[in-house]
Structure formats: structure tokens, C-alpha cells
Structure 1
Amino acid sequence: MEKDSMNPGSFRIGLALEGTGWHPASWLLSSVTDAEEVFKGGYWTDWGRAAASGGVDFVTLEDGLSLQTDRFGTADQAHDRVRGRLDPLVTAAVLLATTDISEVVVSRNVTHTDPFHIAVQLASLAAIGPGRVVWRPQVSADARDATVVGGPATPQLLPEDVYVPTRIARRLRDLFRDAEDYVRTVRELWKTFPAESLSSGDTFLHRDMVAPLRLTGRERYPAAGPLTVPVPSTPKVAVLAHHALEPYRLAAAVADRVFVTPSQEHPIPALLTAFREIERLTPDAAGTEVYADVAVVLGDTAEHAEARLARLNEAAGFVWAPDTQVLVGTADHLARELGRWREQFGLSGVRLRPAVLSDDGARIVQELVR
């Protein structure tokens, strides 16, 4: 698919990097055979360069405090699955310094961290790659995370709750409200050390421009700053929001960009209507760009793609049912579907989660957007 056919500048395509892919059995069918490769800088640099050269607009990096698992919130003893991941902040720094990828979206936990350190980390990334850093604040809905890091206990979202909007809202309301305050605090901290305060010659710093925040009723996150890093460009904020009130409200309140997860029960038009209504009712909402977030299994033909998915499910021992729609077919079919979404629904872009990175990721960068 030619990039021009997607009207560059109005529809952006992102590649979600995660281990050897998003399907639980991706390791078994990946071209990667040495587990250590997934934890080497060259692996991620190669994918960053491939994405940039293939016309992908951004890549995303995942965060996680506990080891991945096949079933949300439940630990397992699997030995044939990818477990563990590099710190996304460090990986992002490598990609920004060694590749030409336009943007790196960095997931960072907000439930078991503090705003000051996250603000400094992202400001440091923004200094390495001005205008190329996007932050995805991640709410921890897995009770195991609190145990792993020794943090305060959090409400537990059970596997059967994940796809029920009312349960998400009821169990996680306070966590999402805290996340909204957290993001606002980080954004305020970014203002405490503006890049304009730096000078040259005998004067290094205009000290009167660097100052702590005036705390007025922000008891939840009373960080005042100032930061130790100047902020040359303020990172944008992106929120992954499953179809539920609280994630949508968080995105409407603080995000520049929202990734929505369509499904058969909740197609894109319904998600857009729901989100825009919540946005309309949210004070200070400023018009969030909406992206679809979908998984993909690609093949030479539709039958080949279906056969690949069946083989992956057989290797996993169960049918893959992620938290979003799975698009199965050829790269041309995917291009037509994305073009339809752009034309009919006015989406700003899409994030694609490849089932197997070495296969589906390669087809995305070689066949979809070249």
C-alpha cells in the first residue's frame, strides 16, 4: 500500500513492539530462537530502524511491574512463553538516539510510582528526542503488581472483569481518578524548568525562571519541584482506553491521544459516539485524537492468515481472545480496512499489535505502509 493512499499527515500508523509478538505463542513460531536476543539493544534498534524505513509513524513500548501471563492477573509457570521485558524508558532512549523513528510512545506505570521521577524521566527523554516522545500513563489493575514492588494494595481486577465496563468502573474508579491527578501533576512539573531558562556565555541559567510549584490543595500528589532537567518540548499524553467510563474519562480529561479497542460487541462507531459524549461532559477536555488499537495476523492470502492464527492457537492450547479486535488477512485487506476506517469514522490513526513480530511486524513495515 502506498503511503499516499492513506493521506499522510491525517492518518498515522503505529507498531506496538512487545517481546516476540502479542500472541501468547509467538515465541514458539517466531524466527527468534535465542531468548537472550529479546533483551539486547540490537533487537530493538533493528525494529526501530525497520519501522522508520518502512514508513511507520510511531512505535510503542510496554511497561509492566510483574511478569506477563496468559490470563490477566493470574501467575503461571509457563516455560515456552516470553516473560520479562526491558525497561521501556531505557529502550526508548536507545531508539531515540539510534533510529529515525518519528515518535516513541513510552508506557509508564502511574499506580506504583511518583510523579516527580516520572516527570524527570520523560523530560530527559524529551531532551534526547525533542518532539518525538509520547507518554502513555498506565494504571495498574493487576493486584500482583503491588506485591512485586512492595507498594500499597490496590483493587484487584479479575480476569472475568476485564471485558465488563461496569466492573472496570466500579473496581478501578479511584485508581483512574488518581491517574488523572497524577498526569496533571507531571504536566505542572514540566513547567518548573523551562528550556527558555537556559542561556549561553557567562550566564548558564536564568534562575528566576526555574521555580517550584505553588501547592494549592494538591494533597494526593504534593510534589513541588522544580525538576532537575529542562523541558525542551512537552511530551504528548496518550491513553489506552478499553470501553468503560473511567478509562474514557481519563483520556478525555488529560490525553492528547486515545487508543480505543474495538470488538464485535463494540464496533468503532459505537466507541467513537461513547467517547465523544464522555468528552463533551468532561470539564477542560480539549479534543482528543482517536486511534484504533487492534491486533493483526497477516498472510499471503486470507486462508494463509487464518491457518497461521489456527497454528498459533494450537501451539498456545487455547483460542487467542485479546482485549481488542483481531484483524486476520492480507496486508492489502488490512490497508483497505484502515482506509475505510479513516474515511468513514475520521480516525487519526491506528496502533497495530503484530501477533508474531518477525512475521506480522515484518509484513506491516514491508507491505502495508511502504
Structure 2
Amino acid sequence: MTDDRSFCIGIALEGVGWHPASWSHSSVADPAELFTADYWVDWARAAASGGIDFVTLEDGLSLQTDQFGTAADDAGRRVRGRLDSVVVAALLLSMSDISEVVVTRNVTHSNPFHVAAQLASLAAIGPGRVVWRPQVSADARDAVVVGGTSTPALEPEDVYVPPRIARRLRDLFRDAEDYVHAVRRLWATFPGEGLGGGGKFWQPEQVRPATLEGRPRYPAAGPLTVPVGTPPSVAVLAHHALEPYRLGAAVADRLFLTPTSDHPIPELLAAFHQIEELTPDATPTLMYADIAVVLGDSDDHAHDRLARLNDAAGAPWSTDTSIFVGTADRLADELTNWRDGHGLSGVRLRPAVLPDDAERIIHDLVPLLRPPASGAANSDAGRL
């Protein structure tokens, strides 16, 4: 099959990996390296040259923890803190050829006007290459950091019980829906043709306040201070629960599903489409899977790597999605089934350790999914 890029492959960049003990197994020697431009630009360039379609950048108001809802410890297993996702995105868009950068931005404790302007600025740097992932903050520590409105206190086990998420976070997700609509209204207040279009440098008649209907939660009227040529797409990370799915159906151009052994891809797709049918003005949505990966030369090698990581962390790795442990060949087969059997448009892969797992994704997995265009490769080389 030719390389038509119909199945998109993304890498979720996060520190030196997503496993809580990734730092103890990474070849990165100096934690300060994670706070340099070169570190992130080098990864974006490596991803682009290796056939990766997009990278994602995380955001957060408080320090990362090993488990949701717990305080950061001093065990030294993880580098705490992040660079600002918008600043990093500006670097990647201007200094690499990566096709898309998915920028996570908090919507619970921020202002729609500011976020709209930030993303519009990124869209000016990389037209058509910016995707926004609005992030609902369910961590009460975030409100403390910014002095914002308190959010419901969640225990770690609440994250994995859909009814609890739905009950406790309903208002936050409804607010997030209004927030995304507000940002999109603001993007429409200053279209790109308002600046430099029609042979004129400035066309003030193109720039106007937003039209506010009803009683919106975020009545940001604008106009925006930054012209918007190509509005960013919106991606939603949706755990298997009613409210995240409602948000995805209402505002998302793409949805990142989080399959588990209890909730496989077919079940998640069916559940989302049921909610989509009940959502007024639902937007067309591309479906992606979002999984963590631990890759190895063999299945035994991959499981041994995970065991050593878990030993270093002092507990088994528990995430909000499934953890694939095995070879690139088996992962390629799984992704092929998801695409051909269930119509998924892409996948976001969370590498357990950087550089190890990301390099295996780029060098071992991508060639299996993207056969050479020349057609010279044998038929076993490509599956998608």
C-alpha cells in the first residue's frame, strides 16, 4: 500500500517518558536538559524525519505526581515541572518540519481571550499545523496554584470509575464546552483577510466583535487582537465516561479514546456514537486511540523492561488507558486491526521512556506501518 498517511501516528512528548520511573532508566543525564529548547526541537525533528505525523505537548498548573490526586514526593524518580506548552509549540513550529503540534491548554483556570490569542499566534507561525487540546482541570491543587475557583476533590480511584467522573465533574465539562465555543467565536472576530487581504494592509470592516447568543458562560466579545488565518483544530482526550464524550461530540474535530481491557475500542466507539447522536450540533469527529507503550526486541524483553521500571517506581504502572507491552510487530498488527476493522483515523502513543520507546516507535514501528513508496519492500513490511 502506498504511503497515503491516511492513518496518523503521533507521539505524546512528556519529560523523559510517561512511566513514573522513566527518569531512572533514561539516557538523559542532566535534568536541566529537559528545560532547553534543543531538547524539544530535536525530538520534533526526529519525529518528522521518521514519519511521525504529530507530537503532543502536555500542560499543567501544578507539579506532576506519580498518581493522580497525590502530592509530589521526593523520591527522585521524576523530574518535576514543565516548560510552557505554548512557548514550546512556537519553537517546534518554527524550527522543525513536524506536520502538527497538539498543544494542551487548561480551560478550567484560564481566560478564553488569552488562550484564543495564544493559539492564534501559533497558527500564524504554523498555518494548518496547530491543534488545541482543551484540558479540564480536575485536580484541586491547580486551583490553589492560581487562586481559582475550587474544583471537586477527587481520589485516585475516582479517575477510573466513569459514574464518579460524570457526577463530580459535570459542571467542569459543561464549562469547558462553553469555553471552546467562546474561543472559536473570538477566532472569528479577526479573520486573516482583515489584515493584508484584498490588496489592503488593513480592512477594519472585517474585524468585529463576536455575536453573543443566549447567556454564554464566557461572554468574551472581542475582537481578538491577533488575525486568524487558519483556525486550529480541536482535539479532546476522552476517558470512558459520559461527560468527556459529551464534550468531544460537541466541540472536537478529533477524539483521543482511551481503551482498556475492560473497555476495548469497539465498545468505546459504540458508546461515543450513541452520545454523539444525542448531542445537538455535534461536530464531525475523527477517532484516534491513545495508548501507552513499552516496546522491546521481544515480548519477554518488553515485559522485563516494564518489570524493572515498576520495581524502580515501587508499584505497577497504572494509567488512564491501556499499556501495550511487546514488540513493534505486534503493535503494528494491533493498530492495523483498529484502523481496518474499526475505522480509526490515527493513534497517539505515549512512550514509557525517552529516548528508548520513542526511538523504537520511529525506527521499528513506523516502517511497518508505512511501506516504501517505491513498492520494493516485501509484502510483510507494511500493514497500514
Does TM, normalized by the shorter one, top 0.5? yes
2:53 aligned with 1:57: yes
Normalising by structure 1, what TM-score?
Answer: 0.97
Give CA deviations for 1:122-163 in whole Å, capped at 9, x if unaligned.
000000000000000000000000001111111122211000
2:308 pairs with one of 286, 306, 311: 311
2:278 aligned with 1:301: no
**Offset, 1:8:** 3.0
The count of aligned residue pairs is: 366
Given that residues 20 and 77 in structure 2 are in contact (C-alpha distance below 8 angstroms), is that contact kept between their aligned partners in structure 1? no
2:325 aligned with 1:328: yes
Give CA deviations for 1:303-330 in whole Å, capped at 9, x if unaligned.
1001000000000000001110001111
Structure 1 residues 200 and 346: alpha-carbon distance in aligned structure 2, compared to 1, 3 A threshold: closer
Q: Which amino acid aligns with 1:293?
A: D
CA separation in 1, counterparts of 2:195 and 2:63?
Answer: 42
**Offset, 1:204:** 1.8
CA separation in 2, counterparts of 1:35 and 1:218?
Answer: 47
2:15 aligned with 1:38: no
Q: Which amino acid aligns with 1:95?
A: L
Normalising by structure 2, what TM-score?
Answer: 0.93
**Offset, 1:117:** 0.4
1:23 pairs with one of 16, 19, 24: 19
Partner of 2:149: 152
Q: Which amino acid aligns with 2:70?
A: T
Structure 1 residues 290 and 200: alpha-carbon distance in aligned structure 2, compared to 1, 3 A threshold: closer
**Offset, 1:203:** 3.7
Given that residues 249 and 279 in structure 1 are in contact (C-alpha distance below 8 angstroms), is that contact kept between their aligned partners in structure 2? yes
**Offset, 1:190:** 0.3
Structure 1 residues 343 and 214: alpha-carbon distance in aligned structure 2, compared to 1, 3 A threshold: closer
1:143 pairs with one of 121, 140, 143: 140
2:253 aligned with 1:256: yes
CA separation in 2, counterparts of 1:148 and 1:127?
Answer: 31
**Offset, 1:268:** 0.5
| SS of equivalent to 2:189 | coil
**Offset, 1:200:** 6.8
Give CA deviations for 1:35-80 in whole Å, capped at 9, x if unaligned.
0001110000110000000100000000000000012111132322
Unpaired stretches in structure 1, ≥5 consecutive residues: none
CA separation in 2, counterparts of 1:9 and 1:47?
Answer: 20
| SS of equivalent to 1:357 | coil
Structure 1 residues 200 and 169: alpha-carbon distance in aligned structure 2, compared to 1, 3 A threshold: closer
CA separation in 1, counterparts of 2:249 and 2:200?
Answer: 42
Unpaired stretches in structure 2, ≥5 consecutive residues: 368-384
**Offset, 1:202:** 8.7
Q: Which amino acid aligns with 2:297?
A: D
2:209 aligned with 1:212: yes
Q: Which amino acid aligns with 1:161?
A: D
2:62 aligned with 1:47: no
Structure 1 residues 224 and 310: alpha-carbon distance in aligned structure 2, compared to 1, 3 A threshold: same
Structure 1 residues 201 and 293: alpha-carbon distance in aligned structure 2, compared to 1, 3 A threshold: closer
